[in-house]
Amino acid sequence: MPFSIEGSTIRWVSHGIERINAAIGSPIRSVMLGQGEMSIGGREVEIWTRLLIQLDNGWLEIFNALDENGYDFHIEKPPGNLIPCF
């Protein structure tokens, strides 16, 4: 990065994205990468575009929504091909 991130902190914003408000303030328990869905020329392509963050009260999912990130909150672990990161 062109600047130092030393001393940076995470800032939770209330009511920023309504469907993920349940994640606010919950400790992170694990992080996983997940395989997304993409096809090019009618062929399925292997692409890892999902980030799943396990919290005390559910799962925060950040995924590729084309020109931006998509967000969702799940009570149960979402299905799919997942790789644990920590």
Structure tokens at 84: 């644990």
Nearest residue to 25 (alpha-carbon basis) of 50, 56, 52 = 56
Which residues is 82 bridged to in the sheet?
34
pLDDT of res. 65 = 83
- Enumerate residue ranges in the chain where pLDDT < 50: none
Where do the domains of the chain lie?
18-84
Burial class (CB in 10 A: 0-12, 13-18, 19+), 33: middle
pLDDT (0 to 100) of residue 19: 82
Total residue length of the chain:
86
